[in-house]
Amino acid sequence: MNIMLESVKDDDPFGFRATESTKCVDLLQTYSNYFLVNSDNVIHILRNSGKDYNDFGRYSDCVNLHGMNYFLVAVLEKFPVPLAVGLCLPSICTLGEVEEFKPFFLHGIQGTLPNLFADVKGFNHRSVQLELDDLRVIEPKSENKLTS
């Protein structure tokens, strides 16, 4: 089952909401709604995910110590240098499910552009309009299987 993120500017601060649920979405909502009970899992997600421009997080800890899935969310072509952030999520989350979060990621990246590229001379971040196809979600585990 795919989650569909539809644009809803009124009731969601991020501008999107899931119209169908998946196991990944359900689990992340449970972690969020019951943070104190699930604090260890939430801390693993936060600690092992990237937090800034080209911060890949802690791949090895995410996958090997905590048995979670690691994804790289990247924009490879639109900026002076590629932009990528590592994302550590529960093992129940699949590449297909994370792909469905692209509108959310796109909205977040577009909102941070003024801060990310404010001091880059000769680059006008206002001229960049990201599209969903500009955003790639990469699962290193799968990519590495293809090359070995």
Map tokens 């989350």 to a residue: 93
Give CA–CA dist 145/17, Å, rounded.
Answer: 33
Residue 85's pLDDT is what? Answer: 93
What's the pLDDT tens digit per position in 33-48?
A: 998 898 999 999 999 9
Domains contained in the chain, number: 1
Residue 11's pLDDT is what? Answer: 47
Residue 4's pLDDT is what? Answer: 41
Residue 124's pLDDT is what? Answer: 78
* Averaged confidence pLDDT in the chain: 81
**Cα 7 versus chain centre, distance:** 18
The CA-CA-CA angle for residues 109, 111, 116, to 5°, reads: 70
Give CA–CA dist 24/19, Å, rounded.
Answer: 14
Per-residue pLDDT band for 21 (boundaries 50, 70, 90) equals: low
- Alpha helix ranges (H) inside the chain: 23-33, 39-48, 59-60, 95-99, 102-116, 140-147
Residue 80's pLDDT is what? Answer: 79
Enclosing domain of residue 32? 5-147
Map tokens 């569909």 to a residue: 4
Strand partners, 75: 83, 135
66 vs 148, residue with greater confidence: 66
Q: Does 5 have pLDDT greater than 60?
A: no
Mean pLDDT within 97-117: 85
